[in-house]
Amino acid sequence: MATLDSHATYRPRGLGVSVGQGVLIALALLCVAGLLLLPLLVVFAEAFGKGWAVFVAAIADPDARTAVWLTLTVAAIAVPANMVFGLAAAWLMTHYDFRGKQLLGALIDLPFSVSPVVAGLVCVLVYGVNGWFGGWLDAHGVRVIFAVPGLVLATVFVAFPFVARELIPLMQTLGNEEEHAARTLGASGWQIFFRVTLPKVRWALLYGVLLSNARSMGEFGAVSVVSGHLPGLTNTLPLQVDQVYNGGSASAIAAAFALASLLALLTLLTLLIKRLVEWRHGGELAHPVRRH
């Protein structure tokens, strides 16, 4: 049985770890623990550190409740808007050839590369009282900056690319033969979109929407510039956390963490749904990362 024995040396060695690999893995784990996991735990630990009563009081505070409500409202407007924009942009980028297509592609990515603070400032410069349209808007009694419309505008801007960036590679891979087939079968443009295109990309769309939502609810920089920090009026949850924390007292810090834990929870929920989508429909999501 010498031949059989010799096979033993070919047994898979995937589990054997060399010293170099071990160091790298340890380093990665340390980074994940120190930079990601620990802060998350600290948020929850601090939130409940002063007891349940402080936590409830922090959440029940009218300003805090307004902030939660405002965050959800802004997300409820910005996310559907970005979904429609993203779908339209992806459709345009993959179904038509036109002059300036490259430029449009670059513009879609712009919010990724521009600092959110700059984005907020741009909003102020354009829609602020002394901005381009600000005077006209003010004259008609419309307040954009230091009001909810401004928050929505800034949020739409920073969360814009997620849906389009998720859809474009997938739609490019799938091509449009099915759409052509639908057309020759007599379907109208809307029928093609709702019955053929949308079902094809639904999971990628949901994935993009979730990412866009996470960004919308967590955005600080751009929103901070346009908000004006009016507690109970224009403070979203991230801004409220910041403001309460800067209040300074020990109970204020606990309250800030309580609110932060709420924000973290929202984000974790989004991530959980995202993981679930990935797990169930991973094959239908075309990731740029996976393609290159």
Partner 1 sequence: MSISINGLTRRYGSFSALERVSLDVAEGEFVALLGPSGSGKSTLLRILAGLDDPDQGSVLRDGEDLLALDARQRRVGLVFQHYALFAHMTVTENVAFGLRVRPRAQRPSRREILARVDELLRRVQLEGLARRYPAQLSGGQRQRVALARALAVEPSLLLLDEPFGALDAQVRVTLRGWLRELQRSLGLTTLLVTHDQDEALELADRVVVMNQGRIEQIGTPSEIYREPATPFVYGFIGRSNHIEGYVERDRLLLGGHAIRGELPPDLGGQRVNVWLRPEHAVLSSRSDIGWTARIVRLAQAGGVIRATLAMHGEGVQMEAEWTAGEVTARGLAEGDTVTVQLRELTLFTEVGGGQRRDVFRPFRDGMSPASGGAIDMGPWLHRKA
Q: How far is the CB of 6 from partner 1 (least distance, A)?
A: 41
Q: How far is the CB of 177 from partner 1 (least distance, A)?
A: 4
Residue 81 or residue 206: which is nearer to partner 1 going by CB? 206
The one-character DSSP state at 12 is: -
Q: 172, 173, 208, 180: which is closest to 196 by C-alpha?
A: 180
46, with CB counted inside 10 A (0-12, 13-18, 19+), is: middle
Token duo for residue 133: 């349209």
Residue 74 or residue 204: which is nearer to partner 1 going by CB? 204
Q: Using CB under 8 A as the criterion, which residues of the chain lie in contact with partner 1 when the complex forms?
A: 177-178, 180-188, 191, 195-196, 199-200
Residue 172 or residue 243: which is nearer to partner 1 going by CB? 172
Q: Which amino acid is at 237?
A: L
Residue 71 or residue 176: which is nearer to partner 1 going by CB? 176
Q: Which amino acid is at 45?
A: A
257, with CB counted inside 10 A (0-12, 13-18, 19+), is: buried
Phi, psi of 264 (to 5 degrees): -60, -40
Assess contact for 175 and 196: CB atoms under 8 A: no
Residue 6 or residue 184: which is nearer to partner 1 going by CB? 184
Angle at which helices 198-218 and 250-281 cross, to 10°? 170
Token duo for residue 154: 């800034």
Token duo for residue 153: 């505008």
Ramachandran sector of residue 137 (left: φ over 0; alpha: ψ -120 to 50; beta: rest): alpha
Residue 48 or residue 193: which is nearer to partner 1 going by CB? 193
Q: How far is the CB of 185 from partner 1 (least distance, A)?
A: 4
Q: How far is the CB of 282 from partner 1 (least distance, A)?
A: 16
Q: How far is the CB of 210 from partner 1 (least distance, A)?
A: 21
Residue 10 or residue 98: which is nearer to partner 1 going by CB? 98
Residue 34 or residue 175: which is nearer to partner 1 going by CB? 175
Q: How far is the CB of 178 from partner 1 (least distance, A)?
A: 5
Q: How far is the CB of 203 from partner 1 (least distance, A)?
A: 11
Q: How far is the CB of 5 from partner 1 (least distance, A)?
A: 44
Residue in the block written with tokens 């784990």:
29
Token duo for residue 280: 């169930």
Please give the Cα distance from 291 to 287 (Å, whole number): 6
Residue 225, Cβ neighbours under 10 Å: how many? 20
